[in-house]
Chains A and B, each alone.
Chain A
């Protein structure tokens, strides 16, 4: 829920907070919080906090934000949900803390008063907040372990500004628009902008699972309090070996616990439903958690109706099985074209994905939902991607050549000569030797959009050089893997969660849903769940892991869903883009994207997005 913003004039020479600027930043996020808005300014006007509210827990005005502690010492502006707030509240009340509201926001204030910055370790949920401690004269920024909720900041040397969206910060009008080469290069490499970079030099993301202090001398370096790599490393060091029945019971308990927590709300919680195991199982678990009235929504496309690619019939079977109120929403090409300008305007930073989430969120909001559960994160947690096989296989086969660093570039250069002219080969094939022998390199090969060696075809040469120098793609990927989780499967789980999930899926889920004032909840992206489940998962097979989820609902998933080969969520969007006459004209030049590459339209789309969605 919500959009947050703040300005801290921390430097002695800085101007007082410009209230109009704070309102511009806050109100650029109006869609994130249509139920209300608030602001708070310190008495000396050196600090301002803003909030746009999407009311989900304690809908009363008393829970409006920014919220101050009773003594006025602490003020918080908060975006997200704390799913274990009732338990935390109980503990705090037993220590003598007195609550004035029923909201999770107030728990943040008291928990901080009780534990200081260590409070973040007790929180279960998705969150991004800014908390002003007037006694310390310092701002405390915190972001959830996976980075489900966004938090960006810009520090010009005098004043620090923060907000839930990059575009909102820019709407304030006081931040430079100098491009960040690392952000641009990162987008072309991965298809989304890798945090902490953004496409603007002066705006950065507070990294997932990190906190950051801003005091009178400025922003400190972010401090990480959660590391997924460490969680998996611990799991590998202390695996939980259970027999099949125990394992299933253990997994069901953990998954049900997560779903139950994710249903905490004072408004109805619906669900996105596809023909996959993840969303279907979650709907079943929602029912098991006691929710009898469930609104589900499935997205399909006019081109697919009645064809094998149509997920709607299978999704309807699931809905029937679990007795949900179900809606199948058909998206047509004309609706897609009509929405395109709004999609690009809502896209906070360039992304090659997110269009599906846009339409399914739109459908959910049309049904009156404020909150919907999504199966995002299931493939990362349970090894559902093909990358769980492909990356380790690549590394095994190419490990020895990777000991000779000159071989890769040599092979690529020779390949480029041989396959010039009419015989073309995908750039990734030419980069196999160069990257395939290590986990970071193999990940880049599997997930990469463009290869580093071909970036100069789509970006200015100097920008590419500087961007690669700053980003250092292989180091950037490698940092996610520190400390080494230890096994192939855990490494891929960490890579997929720390990069693709964090930078693409979660970011897209945020901007695309928030544009429709819808909160998306992700029970399979939960730090408590992964800590609990990973010791058991590391000792079972990937296919078995998905079965654990499929078999968790009491009623079980319909057999066709369980037997269905994973295809990914297919859409005709790229065909629609390819068929757009204006888009074809704009992208007439063939060479930059590779004329014979299957991914050329994705690449063209990326190029288009990078130039428009800023």
Chain B
């Protein structure tokens, strides 16, 4: 007989939330909802109210509780009164101790999701304890797995990679006349970066691109570097553009509305973000699925969407020559197939999630048998 399980999911935000983690949680919850063995998923979010009709079948999202103490008490209450549960899911490392305590109390396995930089350094002891109680830890990239295992005393087999997905709304298409016109880009070759530009995010590597711009312009005089995103690092980058004598070829276009993003990618010829600290780098997938080549770093999670440089370009970020060569090469073949980016589709993600649910429960059963 097929087992029907109930999952208690403690997440920062899911349906009704915004941002990458929220999207990831929605993907995960949606994937679970399609797994036959899953009877119900009770979601306890910190923020975000689900809109009516937005929830997939078998997902019940409770009202958010932002206050930390209130959230902990509420979660414990839900675990105690809305059970029984067969699995506790924790969507953020910050809740690991709470989730571990609940899973321990319920004597069910804990599945912890880690997203990237949050898992790279050792957290305070209580959180570390919570993390190390997990039966399964999913991470978004191989690099994050490696960094996580540097500090976490947990068997490597318990840590699985479950990458971000890329939405179907990113697809190849003609350049957007509206965007070309808005930013004065008609007739230009366009090199694009989409990311925050705060001073804390210097690792994203805008400065690296700006320093190779003079060389690029010698070969591609019509080149324009479009920087999408906002933050307190913008002034510094504008100054650097001036110092490099390339300010006329750089457009800081600020924060872009999410709905405009697919068109922005389509309008660009090359996507570049020589970052050294990406947990995964979904922007690379978005760019490649829009049909433009992507250039990223080769020492962090970027290697996953770039598939070790076999798709797009994975470069040593501080190697100026390598970066320059990659951009030049990409500008010479500004359209690519999207087959590789499609590997990160929701359907693959969903199948993998189903496998992980089965695996997690089988391991728990095995342990119980041994006990």
Residues in chain A within 8 A of chain B (CB atoms): 11-13, 15, 155-158, 176, 178, 201-202, 204, 215-223, 466, 469-470
Contact = CB atoms under 8 A, between A and B. Distances in A.
A105 to B, nearest CB: 27
B157 A13 contact: no
B363 A220 contact: yes
B145 A156 contact: yes
Contact of A178 (B146, B344, B351): B146
Contact of A15 (B145, B156, B308): B308
A12 B348 CA distance: 7
B150 A201 contact: yes
Nearest to B155: A221
A182 to B, nearest CB: 8
A15 B314 CA distance: 15
Contacts of A157: 139, 141-142, 145, 159-161
A155 B352 contact: no
B362 to A, nearest CB: 8
Contacts of B351: 12
13 contacts: A11-B161, A13-B344, A156-B146, A158-B304, A201-B146, A201-B150, A202-B149, A217-B356, A217-B359, A218-B160, A220-B157, A221-B157, A470-B153
B310 A156 contact: no
- The residue among A157, A221, A223 with the most chain B CB atoms within 10 A of its own CB is A157
Contact of A12 (B149, B310, B352): B352
Interface residues on B, range: 20 to 34
A158 B363 contact: no
Contacts of A470: 153
Given A157-B141, A201-B149, A201-B150, A15 B310 contact: yes
State the majority secondary structure of interface residues on B: helix
B107 interface: no
Contact of A158 (B142, B149, B153, B157): B142
Per CB-CB distance, the 7 closest pairs between chain A and chain B, nearest first, are A157-B161, A217-B355, A157-B142, A157-B145, A12-B348, A470-B153, A156-B142
Contacts of B307: 13, 15
A13 B153 contact: no
A469 B352 contact: no
B293 interface: no
B135 to A, nearest CB: 10
B91 interface: no
B45 interface: no
B167 interface: no
A204 B359 contact: no
B357 to A, nearest CB: 10
B80 interface: no
A218 B150 CA distance: 20
Given A11-B352, A156-B145, A221-B363, 17 more contacts: A12-B343, A12-B352, A13-B163, A13-B343, A155-B156, A157-B139, A157-B159, A157-B160, A157-B161, A158-B142, A201-B150, A202-B146, A202-B149, A204-B156, A216-B352, A220-B157, A470-B153
Given A204-B156, A220-B157, A13 B146 contact: no
A12 to B, nearest CB: 5
Contacts of A221: 155, 157-158, 363
Contacts of A156: 142, 145-146
Interface string B320-358: 000000000000000000000001100010011001100
Contacts of B159: 157
B15 to A, nearest CB: 25
Nearest to A466: B151
Interface in B44-98: none
Contacts of B366: 223
Nearest to B160: A218
Given A13-B163, A155-B156, A158-B142, A217 B352 contact: yes
A202 B156 contact: yes
Contacts of B153: 469-470
Interface string B153-179: 101111111010000000000000000
Contacts of B359: 217, 220
A393 B169 CA distance: 73
- The residue among B145, B150, B151, B156 with the most chain A CB atoms within 10 A of its own CB is B156
A466 B153 CA distance: 9
B120 to A, nearest CB: 13
B288 to A, nearest CB: 13
A216 B158 CA distance: 15
Contacts of B356: 217
Contacts of B139: 157
Contacts of B343: 12-13
A217 B357 CA distance: 10
- The residue among A12, A204, A215 with the most chain B CB atoms within 10 A of its own CB is A12
Contacts of A223: 366
A127 B139 CA distance: 34
Contacts of A13: 161, 163, 304, 307, 343-344, 348
- The residue among A155, A216, A218, A222 with the most chain B CB atoms within 10 A of its own CB is A218
A222 B150 CA distance: 21
Contacts of B151: 466
A176 B304 CA distance: 15
B27 to A, nearest CB: 14
A519 to B, nearest CB: 31
B308 A216 contact: no
